[in-house]
Amino acid sequence: MAEIVIKDLRKEFGDFTAVKGSSFTIADGEFFMLLGPSGCGKTTTLRMIAGLELPTSGEIWIDGEEVSKKPASQRDIAFVFQMFALYPHMNVRRNIAYPLVSQGLPRAKVNEKIAEVARILGIEDILDNPVSGLSGGDRQRVALGRAIVRSPKAFMMDEPLGALDAEFRERMAEELRALHDRMGATTVYVTHDQLEAMQMGDKIVVMNHGVVEQFGTPQEIYDHPATMFVADFIGSPPMNFIPFEGSVSPGAASVRVAGTQIALPALREEAHARRMVLGVRPEHVRFTDEGAYRGRIEAVEYLGTTQIVTLDAPNGTLRARLPSSDVVRTGEVVGLDFVASTLSLFDEASGRALR
């Protein structure tokens, strides 16, 4: 069990800076996601927390103790690189026992711990099987067993499901989350998959080019993206961006976009005489008969319960998610309306949210 506090963490490799001053707190027992595109610095951050990489500057605190310069062996953290990495010449029991045996734990204690872990993972029946004949799911469970058997303070996982096909991946993601909920150990999990992060995480840090773009719950990040990068990275299809030039005063009820007033919720700060961008999630676009902001339906993609409609609108391409039961026809011109309370507004130059 451990709270992990990261303060202004920085990592330079020669003259390249991989992590540019990150700060965030991981609460005790949290399932915490480090999310971002390839090369954004997530793995480097994870390795610094685990002690596999030393920071150039900044602090890492685990359980109230500063560990920034301590070696990995003194941090009591289990690092799950890739779940399939088992010792092929050992059976399941010996694979799981390995970390305890190498610590010199007495045999009776080892057996007790193995029984407990096997029960948690539901693998009591296969303890004496060779790992070579195991199914993919059981191999994952055994590898997890080896990570959890010594009850570390926290788990670090680097894309543990990355190599799996979609269906199996989803099932293991659910199992992993359920296992975490039973054990309650702080877990830091690296992924580039926004859906995985949204589904599994209690909290998410979104990184880009070594910078923390946003830190919050999945819902905070989805509903109130702090930057255009986050708005675009989270959600599929991503948030629509409608650029416009104009002036919006605090408390203003609407903005004028392409000759049409679009209703807005209250702003945090005054925004005027600069290029701004309205952000609209596809599920918040409505079709109306009378709307003056109009678009032509270019394509319709059927997705089962919903359909994604691509429109040619005055400010560019726009995507709407509608129930599949709505009748839409390619070529038709429709009025567009947005749910005011859900809109985002960004400063185009900085990419930062204005509300």
Interface residues with ligand ATP (CB under 6 A) are: 13, 16, 18, 36, 38-44, 192
Would you mind telling me the total number of residues written for the chain in this entry? 355
Query: Closest approach of Cβ 348 to ligand ATP, in Å?
Result: 26
Smallest distance from ligand ATP to CB 126, Å: 32
> Smallest distance from the beta carbon of 306 to ligand ATP, in angstroms?
30
Closest CA to 134 of 184, 78, 91, 196: 91
Tokens of 214: 């946003």
Cα-flanking dihedrals φ and ψ of residue 161, to 5°?
-105, 5
Nearer to ligand ATP, 206 or 354 (CB): 206
Identify which of residues 95 and 214 has a Cβ nearer to ligand ATP in the complex: 214
Asked if 101 and 92 count as a contact pair (C-beta separation under 8 A), the reply is no
Which residue has the closest beta carbon to ligand ATP? 43
Output 187 or 344, the one with its CB closest to ligand ATP: 187
Pick 16 or 302: Cβ nearer ligand ATP = 16
| 8 touches 17 (CB < 8 A) | no
Tell me the angle at which helices 166-183 and 136-148 cross, rounded to the nearest 10 degrees. Answer: 30
What is the nearest approach in angstroms of ligand ATP to the Cβ of residue 147? 20
To ligand ATP, the closest distance from the beta carbon of 16 in angstroms equals 6
Which residue, 201 or 295, has its beta carbon nearer to ligand ATP? 201
Element (H, E) at 186: strand 186-191
Shorter beta-carbon distance to ligand ATP: residue 17 or 307: 17
Judge contact between 189 and 31, C-beta under 8 A.
yes
Beta-carbon contacts of residue 31 (< 8 Å; ≥ 6 apart): 177, 180, 187, 189, 200, 201, 202, 203
CB of 53: closest distance to ligand ATP in angstroms?
A: 8
